[in-house]
Amino acid sequence: MSKKERLRLVGRKFIELARLRYGENTITPQQSQDLG
């Protein structure tokens, strides 16, 4: 598993957690890419 793949998985998990916590519409995929 490369570093990039791992970062992508971690980011996806973080996004899912954030969605659950803050609501679906708070974080868009574009914003998550900016954070990542």
If one compares 34 and 14, the residue with the highest pLDDT of the two is: 14
pTM of the entire structure? 0.46
Q: φ, ψ for residue 24 (rounded to 5)?
A: -55, -40
Q: What gap in Å lies between CA 34 and CA 28, rounded to an integer?
A: 10
Q: What gap in Å lies between CA 14 and CA 18, rounded to an integer?
A: 6
Dihedral sign computed on CA atoms, order 5, 10, 15, 17: positive
Q: Average pLDDT of 18-28?
A: 68
